[in-house]
Amino acid sequence: MFPFGSRSAPPPQLPRPVPPFPGETTASYIYRLAVANELHPADLRAHMAGRREHGPVTLDALAATTGRSQHALAWALPELRPGVMPRADPVLPGHVRRTVCWRCAARRDSFPYATVWQPAEVSICPSHRIWLGSAAHPRLRGQYDVGGLPEILQAQGRHCRLASRRGRQAAIDAIAEASQITALWARHGFYRDRRVPLIQELRGEVPLTGKLPPGDEVTAVGTYPETVDLARVLAMPRWRNPGAENAGDLQQFEQEVRSCTGIGYEWKDSRYDPLFRWFQKHREALLPGFPDPGQDEPQGQGIRRLASTLVRQARGNSPQ
């Protein structure tokens, strides 16, 4: 389609310069652009570079190839913006890669697996109310229509407020921790009252055992409201970074979880209570004289000692 060699003129414009999605990854856009013009992506890259060896995709070559302005392309394709490191992951702080909403893709008659960078707290397409995936499970393919599930739509609002109040990265951390805990609860069928009606609506049936198998793609969306509410607790400074002046005790923590999540949480000193372990981990620095696990004694023994100390405190039986 063109003579190889070093090119002094810009590459000719393609006959079908399809538009990029907002936030689209460069690789995704190049793939879609190539397919729309019946080219192999490698050939399109060579077309833009003017030589067989692949060079980086540049704004000026892409602008010439698509007829779109460099400004518009840089706005839509964050990896090509000046000052952004294209190989960084994520290229934008607090963003995750997700498959674009299938209805947005269908509206443009686009390849359905276009990939975009999105703020981590945006889990639902605002135009079509399609579940895209949580920050903790950004690559799951399951996209569900949640337009008829107000509990999930309201949880999206609380998720955005959490990111706004605590910061995007703090929200990402808290959601990741909370989603691990709620996924484990779902796997064991614990605290199922909020989850079961959602699974019924999303899937049309609930497993007879009430338990979701590991890796089930409905887990992230079915546990989303409880995950967001639990993350709001885990992001609170008095639980996350407790100091001697603001530290609450285990019973207060239990109460906070109950009131924020609506779950009848009861702490247990058990490996099946990951929330209790989370609380333990964030209290270690507050217990004077508590040995650094792994230095003075084996870690398992240290954790057991911390657990028994917290349990005594929670029962109002702390040694004087």
Q: Residue numbers of the site for Zn ion (CB under 5 A)?
A: 101, 103-104, 125, 127-128
Nearer to Zn ion, 128 or 277 (CB): 128
Residue 30 sits at the vertex; the CA angle it makes with 74 and 120, to the nearest 5 degrees, is 60
Q: How far is the CB of 198 from Zn ion (least distance, A)?
A: 21
Nearer to Zn ion, 127 or 318 (CB): 127
Nearer to Zn ion, 39 or 105 (CB): 105
Q: How far is the CB of 269 from Zn ion (least distance, A)?
A: 45
Tokens of 36: 């729309």
Nearer to Zn ion, 104 or 306 (CB): 104
Q: Which residue number is nearest to Zn ion in terms of Cβ?
A: 101
Q: How far is the CB of 155 from Zn ion (least distance, A)?
A: 18
Q: How far is the CB of 145 from Zn ion (least distance, A)?
A: 10
Nearer to Zn ion, 224 or 278 (CB): 224
Nearer to Zn ion, 117 or 253 (CB): 117
Sign of the CA dihedral running 194, 155, 217, 213 = negative
Nearer to Zn ion, 25 or 143 (CB): 143
The closest of 73, 58, 54 to 10, measured between CA atoms, is: 58
Q: How far is the CB of 105 from Zn ion (least distance, A)?
A: 8
Nearer to Zn ion, 128 or 305 (CB): 128
Q: How far is the CB of 99 from Zn ion (least distance, A)?
A: 11
Q: How far is the CB of 132 from Zn ion (least distance, A)?
A: 8
Give the span between the Cα atoms of 171 and 110, in whole angstroms: 32
Contact 231, 172 (CB under 8 A): no
DSSP collapsed to 3 states, the chain: CCCCCCCCCCCCCCCCCCCCCCCECHHHHHHHHHHHCCCCHHHHHHHHHCCCCCCCCCHHHHHHHHCCCHHHHHHHCHHHCCCCCCCCCCCCCCEEEEECCHHHHHHCCCCCCCEEEEECCCCECCCCCEECCCCCCCCCCCCEECCCCHHHHHHHHHHHHHHHHHCHHHHHHHHHHHHHHHHHHHHHCCCCCCHHHHHHHHHCCCCCCCCCCCCCCHHHHHCHHHHHHHHHHHCCHHHHCCCCCCCCCHHHHHHHHHHHHCCCCCCCCCCCCHHHHHHHHCCHHHCCCCCCCCCCCCHHHHHHHHHHHHHHHHCCCCCC
Q: How far is the CB of 102 from Zn ion (least distance, A)?
A: 8
